[in-house]
Structures are given as structure tokens and as C-alpha cells.
Homo-oligomer: A and B are copies of this chain.
Amino acid sequence: MNIAIIGLGLMGASFAKRLSPQKDKIIYGVDQNEQTIQTALDLNIIKEGSTKPSEIVGKCKLVILALYPSMIKPWIEENQQYLESKTILMDISGVKTNIIKPVQSILRDDLELISIHPMCGRESKGIDFAQADIFDNANFIIVPTEKNTQKAIESAKQLGKDLRVKNISKLSCEEHDKMIGFLSQLTHVIAVSLMNTHDNSHLVEYTGDSFRDLTRIATINEDLWSELFLLNKDILLEEIDQFLDSTKHFRDSLEKEDVSEMKRLFIQSTKRRKLFNK
């Protein structure tokens, strides 16, 4: 089976690293940067690569789009002419509703886009940080729409197995984006806002693991995450507002010295957090 990976950044190249040793697959790569393609060839994680999709994608029945979210629709508009009929495309973007639906509406009728989200991004970017093992502990979410066939959903599931992810599940676009809005996007907003609260460089030497753990994700790729946030704006604003209300409520309980309410909030958070222990 020939697979094309479009975009050999951190994620695309990690796909190539994990899939290329599998004997039933031949991996092809497309990237706008010639040097990146040369690196992928040197690493022996693609068989062939090009900056021109037209030279590659026609021979592949599966095309994985590992592009920035804003690039997916333009890429389809420009390059779907080169795809063989029945080719399956998969995008791996971190937000779904506002990406997949517009793309599916312009896609050729004889092609199919099935959306997946392997939850294993890293804050670093580029092929140099790619690793096959980022999939080992990943949740792999398949996000079908009413346009998808059972066959494409099965292909997505098989890809998850081939990537050897920890867990494969299925969500609707709306469920996915709400889940991501809370678990991932809101937590990034919090970490970023905490680091931006005020200058804190004089506190480095006193810092323990709690602060480091909480702010690790404040190291962030500004181009990718501003796109992801805008694409999920309504849901994220709602999550931020609920979090602000929750924090404000705690603040007011402290101001009023309402110890019984503070304790109730501590007990509730402790109970809820315990469900998340591995």
C-alpha cells in the first residue's frame, strides 16, 4: 500500500518514522521545503519525496494531510485534480467542525476525507523533533461525519492500529471540539495566562515541580495555536468564561473567608481529579 504524507513536520515525519518500517507500506512525502525532503530521504523514512504534489499523490490510495489547519482547504482546491478516484484522505488537525465540513463540501465526489486526531502533539516543530514513539501513549480519535463511508472509517481504525496507538475511539465533530476546547485549549490558555500574569524570572530558583508541570504547555507554537483557537473560537470562549466564573467564585469565597465553601470546593476538585489518576 502506497501512502503519501503531505507535510513532513513534527507530526508528518513521526507518521513516516512509525509507518515506513512496516513491510506492507511504501511511504511517500510531500513538503514545500526541499531540505526537509532530503532529510526524510536521508533518514530513510520515505521512499520518494517532492515539493510538487502532482509528482507523488497519484500513486497513493491513502493521503495523510499533516498540514497547518489553514492550509488544508487550499491544498485540496489546488491538488485534488492529481488524486486517483477512490483515494482516501485523512487530516490530523486539532479542531474539526470548521475544517472538515468546508473541505468535504468542495471535495470531488469520488474522493473521501475521513478525519482523525492522534492526540500526541508536541510543542516543538519540524522533522528534527519527529519520533516514532509519540504514538505509543496516544489517544487516536476518529471523527466521522455523515459524508463518511464505513470503509473509510475502517481504514482510519486500521491506521490507528498500524501506528500502535494506546486507544482508538470515535467522536462527532461537535463532541471532539468540545472535548478539545476543555482538555487542551483551555489548559493552554491557562498556562499562557499564568506565565503572562506578571514578570516571574526572579522566582525561578524557588520553583518546584507543581509550577513546572502546570506551565509546561505555556511553551507554544504561536502560528499553529492561534489558528486552532480561532477555528474553535465559540467553544473556547465558552470554556474560558466558565473557568473564569469558577475562579472568580473561589476568589470571592476567599475574600469573604467562607471557609466551608472553600472546603467544599477543595473536596469537589479532589474527588473529580481522582477519576483522572492513571
Contact = CB atoms under 8 A, between A and B. Distances in A.
A242 B223 CA distance: 26
Contact of A266 (B138, B192, B251): B192
B250 A189 contact: yes
B183 A139 contact: no
24 contacts: A137-B209, A167-B205, A179-B203, A183-B211, A189-B250, A191-B214, A191-B273, A192-B269, A194-B246, A196-B249, A197-B239, A197-B243, A198-B242, A211-B276, A216-B273, A219-B273, A222-B263, A223-B263, A230-B254, A230-B259, A233-B254, A233-B255, A236-B254, A244-B248
Contacts of A138: 208
A272 B220 contact: no
Interface residues of A, number: 87
Nearest to A189: B250
A206 B190 contact: no
A22 interface: no
Interface string A204-240: 1111111111111111111101100110010011011
A208 B189 contact: no
Nearest to A242: B197
Nearest to A198: B242
How many monomers of this protein are in the complex?
A: 2
Interface in A111-139: 119-120, 137-139
A276 B215 contact: yes
Given A196-B272, A233-B254, A247-B247, 15 more contacts: A137-B209, A187-B194, A187-B210, A190-B214, A191-B273, A195-B269, A195-B272, A196-B246, A197-B245, A212-B276, A213-B216, A219-B273, A222-B267, A225-B266, A233-B257
